[in-house]
Each structure stands twice: as C-alpha cells, then as structure tokens.
C-alpha cells in the first residue's frame, strides 16, 4: 500500500470521486490552476479540465451559495474554504440554506455538497489561520460534521462525504497534513510515511459517516477526541504510562454514541479533548451526553481540556494549544480523582 501524506490522500479522494462520478466538481479560491494553498487539489484541473476544477472569486458566500444551486441542479460540488477561519461569510448559506434545504422543501430539493476547510493551529497562523469551528456546525440540524486525523481516514471519509446525499462539513486539521503531530512542537516532524495510518489503499473505499475509531484500546480511562488531539492524546498516554482508550470520533454529528458509551462504562473515567475554545465547544456536548448516559458508571468527573477562551494567539500559540503536558496532567487527574 502506498504511503501518503494527508494532503495526498485528500487529493486522491478527489480523484477517485471525480473519476467515478462526473457530477463531482471542485472549486474554491486558488484551488484550480494552483491546486490550493495547501495543494490539496493539485493536479485536478490538469487531469479533469477547467470545467471540473476551477478557481473562484474571493467570496465564500458565493462559493457555498453557488454550490447550493449546483447541488440543487443535481451536481455534487466539493468546495474548499481556504482556511476555516474564513467560513464565516459563508455561514448563512451553510446554516440557513444547505443545512435546511431538504427539510424545508420536504425533500423536493436537497444539497449534497461538501465544504472542506483546513482547521486548527500549530503553524503560528494567529487568530485567523488557526480556528476549529466544529461546534458552530454541530449545533445546526442538517449538517454532518467530520474532522479527520490521518491519511487513511481522510481519504475514506472524504469519498463518503462526497457520496453522501446531504451537506457535509469536512474539517482538516492542517497541523496533521504532513505527519501525526503529537504536540511536541520542539521535536522533529514525523512524516506519515512512518505511521501505519499513512498507508492508504489505492482506488475507491469509503468509511461510513457516523462511525468512530478506537485509536488505542485501554481500560483505565476513556479519551474522546478528534483531529490533531488524537495524536496528542496518544503521546500523553504513553508519557503518563496510562492504559487509556483513545477514541477518534471522526464524525461529530451524527455521533457514534455506542462506541463512546461502551468505553466509558468500561473505564469509568472520561477525558474530552479539543483544540477549539472551551466554552460551548463540542466537548461540552460530549461531556453532557456521557454524563446523561453513563452517570452511574462514572468514577470521577469528566474533564475537558481545550483551547482557552481567547482568540488563538500568535506568539503564545504553544501556551494555547492543549499539548501533551496539559493533557497528561488531566489524564492523571482523571484516574486519581
């Protein structure tokens, strides 16, 4: 099996989906000739022509709004927002339009489209190149929200998202584009080629939306997370020498609650991690659901570790990012409380 970076896996998913279904078209800012500022659509225009993959004017509402119209026509647009931090101008089209079209028209129209966006910090991008807005999607009925953590999943989930009949928000933590970043920013970068999840099968495969993946099995503690923090959690568990079960949620809505509940009932302890701002982050929803469903199994309070309730800072990025030390301390607390 070829080793791929997450960027290559995303490119490959596009290629496979576009080959199989000529209704799939790809556009966004700098995604056409240039192939995207993160190169995720590189080569698509050359391969499929300017009518399947093209550049768009800088107007995120226009990009998603046009995609809604195209999807209503019967195409399957997969568009890129250059950074998740720039999705706000498109938020009305996402929330009021894409998310509700099927429901409000009682199935007369639908909006099968994918909005891809790089998320998360760790590249000194400051407050407008580092955000993780997943909780702004999970609150909206009608949206499927995916956050990927590795090349294998990224390909299978992107293909599934493009094939899905409803709008999917597809979040790509940019810090894991090139390797399984574990939060130790001062250590050399480990490439995906040295990681089993960097092995990506050729051709078509898809991963069912709404299914989590047990990233690491364990008995002492359940860690619920997604994206970059999956790798941070693993590093922390190893460093703390804890038998933590790490669940990579992959899809936030719909949520794979069975996998979560089974794990927490087994371990009796639960840690929730994400990079986004703590208050009203998706961790709150996870904590609430675990508490509702596992109340009598919990031996200690569910702990959330997340970005602070501040804009993502530039210089103090590593004081903001929930790295392995902060996560490790929380793990210890969860098992000793």
Partner 1 sequence: MESESESDPPGLRLRIPEPARGRQPADRARFISPAGEMRKPALDEKVERVALMRKQLVRVLDDDGNAVGEWVPDLSADAKRTGLRDMMLVRSFDARLLHAHRQGKISFYMQALGEEAVACAQKRALDPGDMHFPTYRQQGLLIAGGYPIVDMMNQVLSNEYDPLKGRQLPVLYSAKSHGFFSISGNLATQYIQAVGWAMASALRGGTEIASAWIGEGASAESDFHAALVFASTYQAPVILNIVNNHWAISTPEDFARGASATFADRGYGFSIPALRVDGNDYLAVYAASAWAAERARANLGPTLLEWITLRRGAHSTSDDPSVYRPADEAQKFPLGDPIDRLDQHLTAIGEWDEERQAALQREVDQEVEDAFAEADSHGSVKTGAVGDPRSMFDDVFHDLPRHLVEQQAQVGEGR
Ligand X SMILES: Cc1ncc(C[n+]2csc(CCOP(=O)(O)OP(=O)(O)O)c2C)c(N)n1
In DSSP notation, 100-168 reads: THHHHTTTSS----EEEEEE--SSS-GGGS----HHHHHTSTT-EEEE--SHHHHHHHHHHHHHSSS-E
Per CB under 8 A, which of residues 223..282 are in contact with a second copy? Answer: 253, 276-277, 279-282
Q: How far is the CB of 81 from a second copy (least distance, A)?
A: 12
Q: What is the dihedral of CA 6, 7, 12, 17, to 10 degrees?
A: 100
Nearer to a second copy, 57 or 295 (CB): 295
Residue nearest to ligand X according to CB distances in the complex: 86
Which structure tokens are listed for 187? 């250590």
Per CB under 8 A, which of residues 142..181 are in contact with a second copy? Answer: 142
Q: Which does 329 bind (CB under 5 to 8 A by kind): ligand X, partner 1, a second copy, none?
A: partner 1
Neighbouring-strand partners of residue 246: 216, 223
Q: Which does 135 bind (CB under 5 to 8 A by kind): a second copy, ligand X, partner 1, none?
A: a second copy
Q: Verify binding: residue 82, ligand X, rule CB under 6 A.
A: yes
Which structure tokens are listed for 307? 């970005």
Sign of CA dihedral 169, 261, 214, 207: negative
Q: Do 181 and 231 contact (CB within 8 A), yes or no? A: yes
Per CB under 8 A, which of residues 52..91 are in contact with a second copy? Answer: 85, 88-89, 91
Nearer to partner 1, 164 or 243 (CB): 164
Contacts of 184 by beta carbon, 8 Å cutoff, 6+ apart: 235, 323, 324
Sign of CA dihedral 145, 37, 74, 65: positive
Q: How far is the CB of 43 from partner 1 (least distance, A)?
A: 12
**Hunting for tokens 């860690």 — which residue is that?**
223
Q: Verify binding: residue 118, a second copy, rule CB under 8 A.
A: no
Q: How far is the CB of 91 from a second copy (least distance, A)?
A: 5
Near a second copy by CB under 8 A: residue from 76, 116, 213, 304: 304
Largest CA distance in the chain: 59
Is residue 129 part of the annotated active site? The answer reads: yes
Nearer to ligand X, 125 or 151 (CB): 125
Q: How far is the CB of 252 from a second copy (least distance, A)?
A: 9
Nearer to a second copy, 86 or 205 (CB): 86
Which is catalytic among the residues 14, 42, 51, 129? 129
Between vectors from CA 145 to CA 202 and to CA 118, what angle results, nearest 5°?
Answer: 70
**Hunting for tokens 């794979």 — which residue is that?**
256
Near ligand X by CB under 6 A: residue from 34, 46, 47, 58: 58
Q: Which does 136 bind (CB under 5 to 8 A by kind): a second copy, partner 1, ligand X, none?
A: a second copy
Contacts of 62 by beta carbon, 8 Å cutoff, 6+ apart: 56
Q: Which does 323 bind (CB under 5 to 8 A by kind): partner 1, a second copy, ligand X, none?
A: partner 1
Per CB under 8 A, which of residues 306..335 are in contact with a second copy? Answer: 308-311
Catalytically active residues are 129
Binding site for ligand X (CB under 6 A): 29, 58, 60, 82, 86, 89
């Amino acid at each position: 099996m070829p080793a791929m970076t997450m960027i290559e896996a995303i490119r490959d998913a596009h290629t496979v989906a576009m080959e199989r279904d000529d209704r799939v078209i790809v556009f966004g800012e700098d995604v056409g000739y240039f192939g995207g500022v993160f190169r995720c659509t590189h080569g698509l225009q050359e391969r499929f022509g300017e009518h399947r993959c093209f550049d768009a004017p800088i107007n995120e509402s226009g990009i998603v709004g046009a995609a809604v119209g195209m999807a209503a026509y019967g195409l399957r647009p997969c568009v890129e927002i250059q950074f998740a931090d720039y999705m706000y101008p498109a938020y009305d089209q996402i929330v009021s339009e894409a998310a509700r079209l099927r429901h409000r028209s009682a199935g007369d129209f639908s909006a099968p489209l994918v909005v891809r966006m790089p998320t998360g910090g760790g590249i000194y991008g400051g407050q407008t190149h580092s955000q993780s807005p997943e909780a702004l999607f999970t609150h909206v009925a009608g949206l499927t929200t995916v956050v990927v953590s590795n090349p294998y999943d990224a390909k299978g989930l992107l293909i599934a998202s493009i094939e899905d009949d409803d709008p999917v928000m597809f979040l790509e933590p940019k810090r894991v584009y090139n390797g399984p970043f574990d939060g130790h920013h001062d250590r050399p970068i480990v490439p995906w080629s040295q990681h089993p999840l960097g092995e990506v099968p050729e051709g078509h495969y898809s991963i069912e939306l709404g299914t989590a993946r047990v990233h690491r099995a364990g008995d002492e503690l359940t860690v619920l997370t997604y994206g970059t923090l999956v790798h941070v959690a693993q590093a922390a568990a190893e460093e703390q020498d804890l038998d933590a079960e790490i669940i990579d949620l992959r899809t936030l809505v719909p949520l794979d609650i069975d996998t979560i509940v089974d794990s927490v009932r087994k371990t009796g302890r639960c840690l929730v991690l994400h990079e986004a701002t703590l208050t009203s982050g998706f961790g709150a929803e996870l904590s609430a659901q675990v508490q509702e469903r596992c109340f009598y199994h919990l031996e200690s309070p569910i702990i959330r570790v997340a970005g602070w309730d501040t804009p993502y800072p530039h210089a103090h990025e590593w004081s903001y990012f929930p790295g392995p030390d902060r996560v490790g301390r929380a793990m210890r607390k969860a098992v000793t409380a």
